[in-house]
Amino acid sequence: MKVLHLITGAETGGSRKHVITLLEQFAQEEAVLALMQEGPFAEEARAKGIRTVVFTQSSRYDLSILKKLVQFIQSEKFTILHTHGPRANLFGIYLKKKTGIRWVTTVHSDPSLDFVKSGVKGKVFTALSMYAVKRMDSYFAVSERFKQNLMNLGIEGHKIHTVYNGIHFTKETAQPIPRTEWGLTDEDFVMTMVARLHPIKGHTVVFDAMQKMEAAKRPHLLLVGDGPIKQELEQEVEKRQLNSHVHFLGFRSDVDQIYAASNLALLASYSESFPLALLEAANQHVPIVTTDVGGVKELVEEGKTGWIVPVGDPSAYAEALRQAMNRQAEGQLVAMGEILYQYASSHYSLEQLEQQTRALYTKLAARQK
């Protein structure tokens, strides 16, 4: 069995983390990473000891790499193609047709929402993405809820396998970054949101929630990540007069240390599968406020390890933030983070991710013989 993972290589969020974390569990002769561009993704993968091959595109519309990928699959005798993301999925149609390779995907987001706010071009890409998603041999769903979402798209249930995301949980928390780096003090209530700057992530919902809170008691928000709507989000912060309370940190490799310096972790997405960012928060014993997306209800217990609010509801989000701040004032918030860590570390380990992924690979490889 030999698996080729294909992803663009431009990713900065959870999908990149997922792929690198997963491939670290496999030997180089078992799994290879193929990217479509050089950059931080490729550098990180190589630093982790993952065999990484880049098939450079002159633009995202450059299809010349398809023949090179076909030759690579055939010469290296790969048995399974594992794609991640819309572009890789679309390329998978051609690669499957030309090589007969078994094809599986991990769907990291709702394919019907990947190109929101992209105009006519976005509608075309969405249609192509949906076409590709329905043509694979098998699927990884990272929560039972997301398995149901795939079935709602018309995919047969027996092709979908629920395999929860996993991370390496540490026994000790990270060394927190001094809050003085952001001009904050130990008395400030600090929230961290790790998410690419994209409309699907719901940043403005959090901004609206903060605006609804009393100015003198308003928490501080650390935004970790980069993306296509950074300038737009900066303007939204300016419009709401939240400049002194919203801090754009950009892409960071020290997320654990940032979480360790925080009181609360946030997710406000309109759609997710099972966010790795929340597992990273749990590893640092930080409770969570999240929208009701993907498999979050399988991780967060309302009022015990965090709060779950309706999607796109700033008022409900603001109330959850107030409750979290009250728990902090009562000295109870830290205990919520401890309970979250104990649950997450026993249910979402790297070991279960590797074992269940390998089991499906073996099953798919057997079908090819």
Domain with CATH 3.40.50.2000 in the chain: 3-166+349-368, 179-347
Residue 352 sits at φ, ψ, to 5 deg, of -65, -35
pTM for the full predicted model = 0.75
Q: Return the pLDDT at 114.
A: 60
Q: Return the pLDDT at 127.
A: 77
Please report, rounded to a whole number, the percentage of residues in the chain having pLDDT higher than 70: 95
> Burial, 49: exposed, middle or buried (Cβ in 10 Å; 0-12, 13-18, 19+)?
exposed
Q: Residue 145 — very low, low, confident or very high, per pLDDT cuts 50/70/90?
A: confident
Mean pLDDT computed over 32-52: 96
Q: Return the pLDDT at 14.
A: 74
Is 212's pLDDT higher than 80? yes
Q: Return the pLDDT at 292.
A: 95
Reduce the DSSP state of residue 346 to 3 states and report it: helix
Mean pLDDT computed over 299-322: 97
Q: Which residues pair with 35 in a beta bridge?
A: 54
Mean pLDDT computed over 313-342: 98
Inter-CA distances, 320 with 82, 231, 289, 325, Å? 38, 27, 7, 9
Tokens encoding 114 = 């990947």
Reduce the DSSP state of residue 294 to 3 states and report it: coil
Q: Return the pLDDT at 268.
A: 98
Is 124's pLDDT higher than 80? no
CATH number of 179-347: 3.40.50.2000
Is 223's pLDDT higher than 90? yes
The answer to whether 291 and 266 have CB atoms below 8 angstroms apart is no
Comparing 367 with 2, the larger pLDDT belongs to 2
Is 13's pLDDT higher than 90? no
Q: Picking from 65-74, 111-120, 134-143, 214-223, which range would have the lowest pLDDT averaged per residue?
A: 111-120
Return the CATH number of 3-166+349-368, one of 3.40.50.2000, 3.40.1360.10, 3.40.630.30, 3.20.20.10: 3.40.50.2000
* Identity at 16, one-letter amino acid code: R
Q: Return the pLDDT at 142.
A: 81
Is 118's pLDDT higher than 70? no
Q: Return the pLDDT at 359.
A: 92
Mean pLDDT of the chain: 92
State which H helix or E strand residue 55 sits in.
none
The answer to whether 294 and 275 have CB atoms below 8 angstroms apart is yes
Q: Return the pLDDT at 116.
A: 57
* 220-224 β-sheet, strand order: 246-250, 220-224, 190-194, 264-267, 288-291, 306-309
Tokens encoding 209 = 């929630």
Q: Picking from 74-78, 146-150, 226-230, 334-338, which range would have the lowest pLDDT averaged per residue?
A: 146-150
Q: Residue 343 — very low, low, confident or very high, per pLDDT cuts 50/70/90?
A: very high
